[in-house]
Structure 1
Amino acid sequence: MFFEIKDLNVHYGAIHALKNVSLQVNEGEIVTLIGSNGAGKTSTLRTISGLVPKSSGTIEFMDKPIENTKATDIVKMGISHVPEGRRIFSDMTVLENLEMGAYLRNDKDGIKEDILDIYNKFPRLKERKSQLAGTLSGGEQQMLAISRALMSKPKFLLLDEPSMGLAPVIVQDIFKLIKQINEEGTTIFLVEQNANMALSISNRAYILETGEVVMSGNAGELLESDDVKKAYLGG
């Protein structure tokens, strides 16, 4: 199995944030986790990345348990996380942000090649490579955050609310990019409040409510579900 969580529980003090969460992601898929604010979506990603300790349960990546692994070692294993709110290094240039994404790599020529590849994908980042990242627009910052994560050459990319706060036309661009990254061979686990867009590009989805998985299935079928429409799609 490429990636699997079994019976994951997470507590913040007395708050039981994740309750027996189980889910799977197969290699090559885009899988979406949808749910309202406070459902536990970000906690799920942060626990996978080793940023939040679990109370119980298992997390396996490529058949290896990773739930007690340090965050830097998880990146080394091939999991990269684009956090909610982008979290770029605003006082560093675009180029320096990209170089930071490759900090675990030693292949200088490969790093240069990958930066050029990103500039081909995002001509706007190339135009602004010497500009401080904090001066970019929201959409450009999101492109940079995703590009920085790609610099570690991940097999598995975690995306937390990539469309948050962006204009609808930019959201379209970001989702096209996510689809392209997936088609180029990276498996994606997507947390997203824009359920319509997320389900439209995903293979499968899980729905999280107050820390519990309440529904899962084929993304197309969930898009058509009356319950999902009422709760998440404004239907």
Structure 2
Amino acid sequence: MLKIDNIHVYYGAIHALKGISVNVNEGEIVTLIGANGAGKSTILRTISGLLKPKTGELLFEEKSLLGYGAQNIVKQGISQVPEGRRIFANMTVLENLELGAYIRKDKKGIADDMGNVFKRFPRLAERKSQIAGTLSGGEQQMLAMGRALMSRPRLLLLDEPSMGLAPLLVKEIFSIIKEINETGTTILLVEQNAHMALSIAHHAYVLETGRITLSGTAKELAASEDVRKAYLGG
């Protein structure tokens, strides 16, 4: 579904991604793990059209994404839940979700998807008239995910969904990610909590300073001694 082939990305003079190649098959959860600054979020920002690779190719369903602006990437069927949630803090929960569907014109479909988001995240239904900035961290994460789903993506990019959340909420968020995948959405997940990420993913890539150092099935990586030592606490 998504093929990233030998991309090089720079922030000014800093060579952030050095020949990265990643494949995401339809229906999978693929996770990118690695330390802070390894380049995980840069990959998602490049797919989303927020950064332009200097060289390399990005193909979504066999069509090049290069040259598309961020809003057109969403129209292709790719949506991102950014690191730090980035909800619209001064708007209500409902307004945030409506903005997630800004590229759509099908009123009935939008209403159905809104109903599905409220079923999946009952707390958002209870707080739909509440100003989003007053929600708890976990609720804001749910809102960011619900907002991304309102564009009806075929590929969902998730950037550090567990960041700053209590362990119980992390479990809940990961169980929702698994459920979103099981209902037909392909997921590319960037996550510092390598243990949780590998527990739900099909395939995984390990990044170190802008390069992929290991890749394989999530089970293989979870069993790898190097990965255990570096990311799973021994």
Matched residue, 1:174: 173
Matched residue, 1:141: 140
Matched residue, 1:152: 151
**Amino acid across the alignment from 1:105:** R
For the aligned residues, what is the CA RMSD?
A: 0.5
Instruction: Please say if 1:114 is aligned against 2:105.
Output: no
**Amino acid across the alignment from 1:181:** I
Q: Please list every run of 5 or more consecutive structure 1 residues that lacks an aligned counterpart in the other structure.
A: none
Q: Classify the secondary structure of the residue corresponding to 2:164.
A: coil
Higher deviation after alignment, 132-141 or 110-119: 110-119
In the TM superposition, residue 125 of structure 1 has moved relative to its aligned partner by: 0.4
Q: Classify the secondary structure of the residue corresponding to 1:81.
A: strand
In the TM superposition, residue 68 of structure 1 has moved relative to its aligned partner by: 1.6
Task: Give the distance between the partners of 1:231 and 1:10, measured in 2 at CA.
Answer: 25
Matched residue, 1:73: 72
Task: Give the distance between the partners of 1:83 and 1:60, measured in 2 at CA.
Answer: 21
Number of matched pairs = 234
Task: Give the distance between the partners of 1:15 and 1:125, measured in 2 at CA.
Answer: 40
Q: Classify the secondary structure of the residue corresponding to 1:19.
A: strand
In the TM superposition, residue 197 of structure 1 has moved relative to its aligned partner by: 0.2
Q: Classify the secondary structure of the residue corresponding to 2:133.
A: helix
Give CA deviations for 1:37-85 in whole Å, capped at 9, x if unaligned: 0000011000000001111100000000002211111100100000000
Q: Classify the secondary structure of the residue corresponding to 2:206.
A: strand
Q: Classify the secondary structure of the residue corresponding to 1:157.
A: strand
**Amino acid across the alignment from 1:113:** D
In the TM superposition, residue 118 of structure 1 has moved relative to its aligned partner by: 1.0
In the TM superposition, residue 145 of structure 1 has moved relative to its aligned partner by: 0.2
Instruction: Please say if 1:99 is aligned against 2:98.
Output: yes
In the TM superposition, residue 176 of structure 1 has moved relative to its aligned partner by: 0.2
Instruction: Please say if 1:233 is aligned against 2:212.
Output: no
In the TM superposition, residue 121 of structure 1 has moved relative to its aligned partner by: 1.2
What is the TM-score with the length of structure 2 in the denominator? 0.99
Task: Give the distance between the partners of 2:208 and 2:120, measured in 1 at CA.
Answer: 36
Question: How much identity, in percent, do the aligned residues show?
Answer: 65
In the TM superposition, residue 113 of structure 1 has moved relative to its aligned partner by: 1.2
Q: Please list every run of 5 or more consecutive structure 2 residues that lacks an aligned counterpart in the other structure.
A: none
Matched residue, 1:11: 10
Instruction: Please say if 1:184 is aligned against 2:183.
Output: yes
In the TM superposition, residue 110 of structure 1 has moved relative to its aligned partner by: 1.1
**Amino acid across the alignment from 1:141:** Q
Matched residue, 2:34: 35
Task: Give the distance between the partners of 2:108 and 2:6, measured in 1 at CA.
Answer: 42
**Amino acid across the alignment from 1:162:** P
Task: Give the distance between the partners of 2:80 and 2:16, measured in 1 at CA.
Answer: 20
Give CA deviations for 1:9-50 in whole Å, capped at 9, x if unaligned: 001111000000001000000000000000000110000000
Task: Give the distance between the partners of 2:163 and 2:145, measured in 1 at CA.
Answer: 13
Instruction: Please say if 1:203 is aligned against 2:202.
Output: yes
In the TM superposition, residue 132 of structure 1 has moved relative to its aligned partner by: 0.3
In the TM superposition, residue 4 of structure 1 has moved relative to its aligned partner by: 0.3
